Amino acid sequence: MNYDIIIVGAGLVGLATAYQTKLKNPASKILILEKENNVAAHQSGHNSGVIHSGIYYKPGSLKAKNCIEGYNSIINFAKEYGINYDLCGKIIVATSQEELPLLDNIYKRGIDNGLQNLKYLSREEFREIEPHCEGVKAIKVPQTGIIDYPGIADKIKEHFEELGGEIRFNNEVKNIIDNNDEIIVTTAASEFRTKKLISCAGLYSDKVTTMTNNKNDVIIIPFRGEYYKIKDEKKHLVRHLIYPIPDPNFPFLGVHFTRMIDGNIEAGPNAVLAFRKEGYRFFDFDFNETMQTLLWPGFRKIVAKYGKTGLGEMHRSLSKAAFTKALQKLLPEIQENDLVPGGAGVRAQACDRNGNLIDDFDIVKNGNIIHVRNAPSPAATSCLSIGKKISKLVEN
């Protein structure tokens, strides 16, 4: 069982990395090891389904570069292979005068990132697009869209296999021994040997990084994002995508309304500290994973910085009335009984020892091993670009 490259994880980042690397090196023997029994089992299959435009990200950052490049790649891929998508556009809405400077900052970011045709809209103008939305001013972002990410994952898998790539499901990587000229990767059932290894393990990227570097200085803190669905009879309240002004100190976009590619309208996701990495329900709990978070040197600083916001998110998670109240800022007509529980996803958010939630994508190379240590949103949009970047790193 000898390979040129082994990739850990069959989420969108692992799949796109395998696919781009195989395209670049058709003769190389590439294997993906995935612990679940299918692709996109975690973040990649539990997200908002939005193709992000790149408006929010710091110019020059990996997020900004890969989102804009990835945006074009994913649309071309979807077009070529018949995956459902719709560039329906979104509005970002300031709901008070105090939010106007923040709206201006977002607009400026968009311009700095090269986005075209952004437009400020007055209340009258944005209500022509979203007649039930309330606020004082908005930005129209025409580039934003919605897409079937699980469909993208399935298609990338199909093409990777057609090119001769191999995927083994139900193979959790338990140990990695790096002998420089050969890396030995152990799963419960088998042992594999490879020249190079790339880890794209999402919520467990810290665990896999620690297998090759016990001085790893970041951990993954899981933040669950919960959704409600809007009942059919109230779907007319939202036509496209409606976003609030995000809290500039918090790396998440705030609860928004999203028309999904299947026609459902979702409200969410919030951002609740999870007590299990793959904990999709409020009371899901794993002792070791919770202790890892609580004992992390940076965690106390996180509590100091984000404690109040975090408690608010927990309250809105437990109380549908409070969640509805938050939604009513953008959509006053929405009522508690218009909402039914939707799904949830858990974000893998890297945090350093000083309590900083790492904002940008973080990819490190050490010898023959590459670890994707932080790939939060917009990594689904950006996956084909991230994959291409990693395929170049592999060559170097």
Ligand X SMILES: Cc1cc2nc3c(=O)[nH]c(=O)nc-3n(C[C@H](O)[C@H](O)[C@H](O)COP(=O)(O)OP(=O)(O)OC[C@H]3O[C@@H](n4cnc5c(N)ncnc54)[C@H](O)[C@@H]3O)c2cc1C
- Output the smallest distance, CB 254 to ligand X, in A: 12
Site string for ligand X, 220-249 (x = CB under 6 A): -----x------------------------
- Asked if 68 is part of the footprint of ligand X (rule: CB under 6 A), the reply reads no
Tokens of 393: 């790193």
Residue 369 three-state SS: strand
Tokens of 271: 């951002």
Sequence-separated (6 or more) residues with CB below 8 Å from residue 396: none
- Output the smallest distance, CB 47 to ligand X, in A: 3
- Asked if 145 is part of the footprint of ligand X (rule: CB under 6 A), the reply reads no
- Asked if 92 is part of the footprint of ligand X (rule: CB under 6 A), the reply reads no
Name the CA radius of gyration of the chain, rounded: 21
Query: Which residues, in sequence order, are bridge partners of residue 372?
Result: 363
Amino acid at 63: K
Site string for ligand X, 318-347 (x = CB under 6 A): ---------------------------xxx
Residue from 103, 208, 273, 369 touching ligand X (CB under 6 A): that is 208
- Asked if 256 is part of the footprint of ligand X (rule: CB under 6 A), the reply reads no
The interface with ligand X within residues 148-177 (CB under 6 A) comprises 172-173
Q: Which stretch binds ligand X (CB under 6 A): 36-44, 98-106, 130-138, 310-318?
A: 36-44
Q: State how far the alpha carbon of 73 is from the alpha carbons of 16, 117, 383, in Å.
A: 11, 20, 9
Q: Please give the full DSSP string across 207-238, using - where no structure is assigned.
A: HHHHHH-TT--EEEEEEEEEEEEE-GGGGGG-
- Output the smallest distance, CB 392 to ligand X, in A: 18
H or E element, residue 305? helix 299-318
Of the pair 139, 211, the CB lying nearest ligand X is at 211
Query: What is the total count of residues that contact ligand X (CB under 6 A)?
Result: 41
- Asked if 46 is part of the footprint of ligand X (rule: CB under 6 A), the reply reads yes
Sequence-separated (6 or more) residues with CB below 8 Å from residue 159: 19, 81
Residue from 376, 384, 385, 387 touching ligand X (CB under 6 A): that is 376
Residue 372 three-state SS: strand
Phi, psi of 92 (to 5 degrees): -110, 125
Q: Would you tell me which residues interact with ligand X (CB under 6 A)? A: 8-14, 33-36, 41-44, 46-50, 52, 172-173, 200-204, 208, 225, 269, 345-347, 375-381
